[in-house]
């Protein structure tokens, strides 16, 4: 992240504006890092409600800690900038955590639909030259358990 020096540059004409001149955007900084020394740290950043009615919430501070923990685990596996990582997960908070952690290490997110069979998952992982996959044991769908881990 680098702060911008000028909000807009219209030097090439109003039809060609250059926004946030001199700055570099970092989505992790904007979503999590910049809130850690502010009162926002204690506000809800993520609220999830499962099919079974379970509710889980994460404050910005809690989400920051979980994303860093996951990012450090990914780095511990030797993953880093430019590495493709598959996400074969249901819509649970850990999906958001893994998603942000992959971004934090500079990885490339490879979304994998939970309905894919083994052949489709393998083909996409191979095409993307993925170095890892993050998955879950399974998911709840229409009241029943659907296994995911056996697919990978």
* Per-residue pLDDT tens over the stretch 104-151: 999 999 999 988 889 999 999 999 999 999 999 988 888 888 888 888
User: Count of domains in the chain?
Assistant: 2
This prediction's pTM: 0.87
Range of the domain at 95: 32-151
Give yes or no: residues 83 and 16 share one domain: no
Q: How far apart are CA 108 and CA 104, in angstroms?
A: 10
Give yes or no: residues 38 and 21 share one domain: no
* Per-residue pLDDT tens over the stretch 2-54: 999 999 999 999 999 999 999 998 999 999 999 999 999 999 999 999 998 99
* 80 DSSP 8-state letter: -
* 91 DSSP 8-state letter: S
């Amino acid at each position: 992240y680098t702060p911008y020096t000028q909000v807009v540059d219209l030097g090439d004409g109003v039809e060609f504006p250059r926004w946030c001149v001199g700055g570099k955007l970092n989505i992790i900084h904007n979503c999590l890092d910049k809130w850690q020394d502010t009162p926002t740290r204690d506000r809800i950043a993520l609220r999830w409600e499962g099919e079974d009615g379970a509710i889980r919430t994460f404050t910005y501070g809690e989400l920051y800690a979980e994303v860093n923990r996951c990012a450090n685990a990914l780095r511990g596996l030797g993953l880093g900038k430019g590495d493709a990582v598959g996400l074969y997960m249901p819509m649970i908070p850990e999906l958001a955590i893994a998603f942000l952690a992959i971004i934090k290490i500079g990885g490339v997110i490879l979304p994998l639909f939970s309905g894919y069979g083994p052949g489709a998952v393998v083909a996409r992982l191979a095409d993307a030259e993925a170095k890892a996959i993050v998955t879950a044991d399974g998911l709840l769908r229409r009241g029943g358990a659907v296994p995911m881990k056996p697919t990978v």
